[in-house]
Amino acid sequence: MSAPAGPTSGHIAGGVHVLPLRIYYEDTDAAGIVYYANWLRFLERGRTELLRLLGQDHSALRDERGVNWIVRRCAIDYLKPARLDETIEVVTSCGEMRGASLDMIQIARRGEEILVRAELVVACMGATGRPVRLPPHVRTALAQVSAGESPRSRHIQV
């Protein structure tokens, strides 16, 4: 019997971040299907683990630079269900990066089958609640998973 694997931050492959997840009982509704609001938690984990993998975890950015990440806008399409005990992947990439915000494109997939697609605007805020510029070292790190110019969604209007 092999030892259980520890937590993972996923990996970067083909210019995107991939985070594998398993669907647990607590993630599902009475029918054993992922409850719609839990997809937001899965997507948040994808963004958090991307930053962690790039050496830019939330707590360090907040404590050392005074930068907090907030979701300013989220457009999400639920395409197909995921069920109890399945494994899925949350795939995260960055679109357009502006001064204090950036677009993030995320999908959740089971194999090649897309289950959920989300387009977000994520902003950097200081301790006072005012926007602060995306730190240059974070911008450089995120370029590893950047599609460059993103096709701005009809849903995301800044």
**CB of 120 closer than 8 Å to CB of 104:** yes
Distance between CA atoms of 106 and 132, rounded to whole angstroms? 24
Phi, psi of 88, deg, nearest 5:
-130, 170
**CB of 11 closer than 8 Å to CB of 17:** yes
Neighbouring C-alpha atoms within 13 Å toward the C-beta of 38: 17
**CB of 87 closer than 8 Å to CB of 110:** yes
**CB of 51 closer than 8 Å to CB of 103:** no
Catalytic residue among 29, 63, 77, 85: 29
29 is catalytic: yes
Q: Coil, helix or strand for 73?
A: strand
- Catalytically annotated residues: 29
